[in-house]
A and B are shown apart, each in its own frame.
Chain A
Amino acid sequence: MKRQKFLSSLPSYAYLIILGLIVILPLIMIFSQSLMSNQEINRWPPKIYTPEPVFSNYVNMFKRPDLKLARWLFNSIFAAAAYTLAVFVICAPAAYAFARLRFPGNNVLFFILLATVMVPGQVTLIPNFLLVRNLHMLDTFHVLIWPGAANVFAVFLLRQFFMQVPKELEEAAVLDGASYWGRFWRIVLPLSTNALVALGIFVFLGHYNDLFWPLITTNSIEMRTLPVGLTLLNFSYGGMERPLVLAGAIFASVPVLIVYVIFQRQIIKGVAMTGMGGR
Chain B
Amino acid sequence: MQKSESLSKTNTPKRFRMNLKTRETIAAYLFLSPFIILFSVFVIRATFYAIQMSFFDWTILRPFKPFVGLANYKELINDDVWWLALKNTLYFSIITVVGTSAVALAAALAINQPQVKGKEFFRVLLYMPSLLSVGVIGLTWVWLLNTQFGIVNYLLSFIGIRPINWLGDGKLVIPALSLTTIWWGFGFPMLIFLAGLQGIPEQLYEAARIDGARQGQIFWRITLPLLRPTLLFVTVTGFIAHFQVFGQPFIMTRGGPGRASYTVIFYLYEAAWRAFRMGYGSAIAVALAIIIIIFTLLQFRFIGRRVEY
In the complex, A touching B, CB below 8 Å?
yes
A interface residues (Cβ-Cβ under 8 A, vs B): 5-6, 8-9, 11-13, 15-16, 19-20, 22-24, 26-27, 29-30, 33, 41-46, 48, 76, 89-91, 93-94, 96-97, 101-104, 106, 109, 112-113, 116, 118-128, 130-131, 146-150, 152, 155, 177-182, 184, 205, 208-209, 211-212, 216, 226-231, 233-234, 238, 242, 245-246, 248-249, 252-253, 256-257, 260-261, 264-265, 267-268, 271-273, 275-277, 279
B150 to A46, Cβ gap below 8 A? Answer: yes
B132 to A, closest residue via Cβ: A253
**A101-B31, A118-B293, A180-B24 are contacts. A9–B116 as well, Cβ < 8 Å?**
yes
Q: Are A227 and B134 in contact (CB under 8 A)?
A: yes
* Range, interface on chain B: 35 or more
Bound CA span A112–B39, Å: 11
Chain B interface (Cβ within 8 Å of chain A)?
1, 4-5, 7-8, 11-12, 21, 24-25, 27-32, 34-36, 38-39, 41-47, 49-50, 53, 60, 103, 106-107, 109-111, 113, 115-116, 120, 122-136, 138-144, 148-151, 154, 157, 183, 188, 191-192, 194-196, 230, 233, 240, 243-244, 246-247, 250-251, 265, 268-269, 272-273, 278, 281-282, 285-286, 288-289, 292-293, 296
7 pairs across A/B with beta carbons < 8 Å?
A16-B126, A44-B149, A118-B289, A128-B46, A150-B43, A226-B135, A230-B138
Known A46-B154, A120-B244, A209-B133; judge A15-B281 contact (CB<8 A): no
A9 with B122: in contact, given A124-B42, A179-B11, A260-B128 (CB under 8 Å)?
no
The answer to whether B281 and A30 have CB atoms under 8 Å apart is: no
Question: Using Cβ atoms and an 8 Å threshold, which residues of chain B touch A253?
Answer: 132-133, 136
Alpha-carbon gap, A105 to B150, bound state (A):
59
Asked whether B116 lies within 8 Å of A13 as measured between CB atoms, the reply is: yes
| B32 x A94 contact (CB < 8 A) | yes
Q: B11, B43, B133 — which one has the most chain A CB atoms within 10 A of its CB?
A: B133
Residue of B nearest to A32 (CB): B151
Residues from chain B with a CB closer than 8 A to the CB of A97 are: 27-29, 31-32
Residues in chain B near residue A45, CB distance under 8 A: 154, 157
Cα–Cα, bound, A155→B39 (Å): 11
